[in-house]
Structure 1
């Protein structure tokens, strides 16, 4: 078979050229392109590492700012609570003073009212005693036919009212 006899000659030249082309491709890609690609990958890795480091520093700065913010906020809250407590204390003190002043005014008003009531009671009692004395004079005159003077009738009425 003539086809089989030519295999060694044909395949040998094909293997030679295959080796030459693969070698050329290896040299072109392996020594020409791979270092450029590796350099690009290394630059990208360095850039990513730098960005990560920068992000960590920014995170630390943000954490420090947040801590300062929280400290300022806590201080402001404490100051507000202190101000609120002082305001409540001042309001309570003013209310207490107003109540004390009102109590004094009420006490004075009560004392005046009690004095007026006592004066009216005394006046009413005196008027009642005078009426009772007149009524006593009239009854004695009508019942016994005796005329009693006003002083005697008044003393009799006072004497009877002390027993009541």
Structure 2
């Protein structure tokens, strides 16, 4: 692990990306569309989300989502949609809203200082996107220590992706 730490410190990856840079990346690479906080209003009830610190919300279109998901993730989403159609207690409108949620991915970025991402939430599954977001969020330089579990996991992710 010490070797990964040293390679990371010597790399250009130790420069943390800003909220603006991450937002631009999501737009350019994933065709993400900026959406209002009202689209994730239900997150006000989530104790893990600091709703007042949400700085950007994005929606990734269905055709990109399909490419981001693994084959098993796509099959799981299709099975969920089939189950939703079977729910007799839901109105057609509610079913359509839930199905659209299964077909898209929303990304919510939080920042206390309005410069760097402190936390993110992904609504909709994609292991590939989760790993990319961990990389894009980065780690605060003050936490570059092998005693920090998040930093160690970050180094492992970078190594897994062949970046260090």
Which of the pair is proportionally richer in strand? Answer: 2
Q: Could you say which structure has the larger radius of gyration?
A: 1
TM category, shorter: under 0.3
- Ranked by relative contact order (alpha carbons within 8 Å, sequence separation 6 or more), the top structure is 2
TM-score, scaled relative to structure 2:
0.17
